[in-house]
Amino acid sequence: MNDAVPASDASTHWRDFARQFGLLGSPLRPCAEDVSILEEMLATETDLFGAVAKQRAWLLGVTPEIAEAHWPQEVELVAVERVPAMIDAAWPGDTDRRQAMCGNWLHAPFPDESFDLVIGDGCLTVIDFPDGLSRLLASVHRCLRCDGYLMLRLFCRPDIAETPDVVLAALHSGGIGSFHAFKWRLAMAVQGIADAPDVAVDAVWQEWNAARIDARELAEERGWLPAQVGTIEFYRGSPARYNFMRFDDTIRHLHRAGFDLVATRTGSYELAERCPHVLLRKRQGASAARAS
């Protein structure tokens, strides 16, 4: 999963997230297939790879799988993360071609049109809607050069919402392959059944708690690490909120913000259909519009 730009009152949530970062897996974090998709899309759908001039890329967060992807020699990667603990926990280290800095995506410390590519993993999910989303897309729009690219992996709830009961039934029947996929399905179900703009992660924990599942027993039955099942406990009492937009709504907001869809790819791993990769291009002459 990407590394969020938190609201000030959610900082504790993201420090806890940093401490447990090593326990997280797909789909919350990119898997090898995601990295392959990323590399293939950039190589075949953009003019960044093989460019003669230096190319600059802005990474939203410090997602190590993206930082360590196969980047051509011509690409310089600059990662921005607001929570220092996330940099300590996740960043694989600065090199002569990549560096991480502490900063706020919404107030990017960069000149206008200073990047050829902005890239991120799950970034829109951790941004409040609509104000935070509008400000993030305006910041990205400003920092991208004319015809620059925006590449994201999205976390999208399905058009037809599952109920929490359906997700819990799938968990009990063995129909969910990883606890991380379960957490995402449950969170999307809690948001979707209310058709709300976002979901409090504490509400996800409340559904889990109400189900009275023995975490240790579940881990033993499924062969999951108890510590991974335990990651849901840091949702308890957290003020953080996640936003799982539907795919078509996400593309509409991106278009309003001045970005045109170039390509979409989807993997084959569990829940990949809800985690599409999208490549967009900054529209010439467009100005970012506010989300609504």
In the chain, what are the domain boundaries?
A: 8-156+245-282, 164-242
> Tens digit of pLDDT for each residue in 23-70?
999 999 999 999 999 999 999 999 887 766 789 999 999 999 999 999
Q: Which fold has domain 8-156+245-282?
A: Rossmann fold (3.40.50)
Contact present, 258 and 291 (Cβ < 8 Å): no
- What's the pLDDT score for residue 49? 74
Element spanning 88, H or E: helix 84-90
DSSP state at residue 126: G
For residues 256 and 249, the answer to whether their CB atoms sit within 8 Å is: no
Specify the pLDDT at position 288. 55
- Edge-to-edge strand order for the sheet containing 98-102? 98-102, 75-81, 55-60, 115-121, 144-153, 277-282, 259-265
Contact 57, 74 (CB under 8 A): no
The 10s digit of each residue's pLDDT in 14-35 is 888 888 899 999 999 999 999 9
Q: What is the pLDDT of residue 229?
A: 97
